[in-house]
Amino acid sequence: MSDTAHRPAAVIILAAGEGTRMKSTTPKVLHRIGGDTLLGHAMRAARGAGADSTVVVIRHQRDRVAAFIEECNAKGESRVLVADQDEVKGTGRAAECGLDVLPADLTGTVVVTMGDVPLLTAETISQLTTAHVEAGAAVTVITSILDDAKMYGRVIRDADGNVERIVEFKDADETQRAVREINSGIYAFDADVLRAQLAKVTTDNAQGEKYLTDVLALAREDGGRVIAHVLQDLWQTEGVNDRTQLAELGRVLNQRTCERHMRAGVTIVDPASTWIDVDVEIGQDTTLLPGTQLLGATTVGAESVVGPEVTLTDCEVGDRATIRRAEGHLAVVHDDATVGPYSYLRPGTVLGAKGKIGGFVETKNAQIGAGAKVPHLTYCGDATIGDGANIGAGTIFANYDGVTKGHTNVGRHSFVGSNSVLVAPVDIADGAYVAAGSAITGAVAPGQIAIARGNQRNIDGWVDRRRAGTATADAAHAAERAAQSVEGPPSSETLS
Binding residue for ligand UD1, selected from 183, 298, 304, 420, defined by CB under 6 A:
183
Residues of span 156-175 touching ligand UD1 by CB under 6 A: 166, 168
111 makes contact with ligand UD1 (CB under 6 A): no
Beta carbon of residue 126, minimum distance to ligand UD1 (angstroms, whole number): 21
Stretch that binds ligand UD1, among 156-164, 179-187, 440-448, 473-481 (CB under 6 A): 179-187
94 makes contact with ligand UD1 (CB under 6 A): yes
Q: What positions carry a catalytic annotation?
A: 376
Beta carbon of residue 34, minimum distance to ligand UD1 (angstroms, whole number): 19
DSSP track, 409-466: EE-TT-EE-TT-EEESSEEE-TT-EE-TT-EE-S-B-TT-EE--SPPP---TTHHHHH
Stretch that binds ligand UD1, among 205-213, 283-291, 357-365, 383-391 (CB under 6 A): 205-213
Picking from 488, 387, 383, 469, the residue whose alpha carbon sits closest to that of residue 431 is 387
In this structure, are residues 105 and 9 in contact, taking their beta carbons and an 8 Å threshold?
no
Binding residue for ligand UD1, selected from 114, 228, 231, 331, defined by CB under 6 A:
114
**Axis crossing angle, helix 38-48 with helix 122-134, rounded to the nearest 10:** 50
In this structure, are residues 108 and 9 in contact, taking their beta carbons and an 8 Å threshold?
yes
Binding residue for ligand UD1, selected from 27, 34, 185, 318, defined by CB under 6 A:
185
Phi–psi pair at 45, nearest 5 degrees:
-65, -45
335 makes contact with ligand UD1 (CB under 6 A): no
239 makes contact with ligand UD1 (CB under 6 A): yes
CA distance linking residue 363 with residue 357, whole number of Å? 9
Q: What residue type is assigned to position 193 of the chain?
A: V
CA distance linking residue 161 with residue 177, whole number of Å? 17
**Axis crossing angle, helix 214-221 with helix 191-198, rounded to the nearest 10:** 100
CA distance linking residue 142 with residue 158, whole number of Å? 17
Beta carbon of residue 186, minimum distance to ligand UD1 (angstroms, whole number): 8
The neighbouring-strand residues paired with 385 are 368, 410
Kindly determine how many residues on this chain lie close enough to bind ligand UD1 according to the rule CB under 6 A: 26
Stretch that binds ligand UD1, among 83-91, 299-307, 333-341, 386-394 (CB under 6 A): 83-91
Binding residue for ligand UD1, selected from 90, 355, 369, 386, defined by CB under 6 A:
90
Contact string (CB under 6 A) for ligand UD1, positions 47-76, x = contact? ----------x-------------------
377 makes contact with ligand UD1 (CB under 6 A): no
Q: What residue type is assigned to position 307 of the chain?
A: G
Residues that bind ligand UD1 (CB under 6 A): 14-17, 57, 85, 89-91, 93-94, 114-116, 152-153, 166, 168, 182-185, 211-213, 239
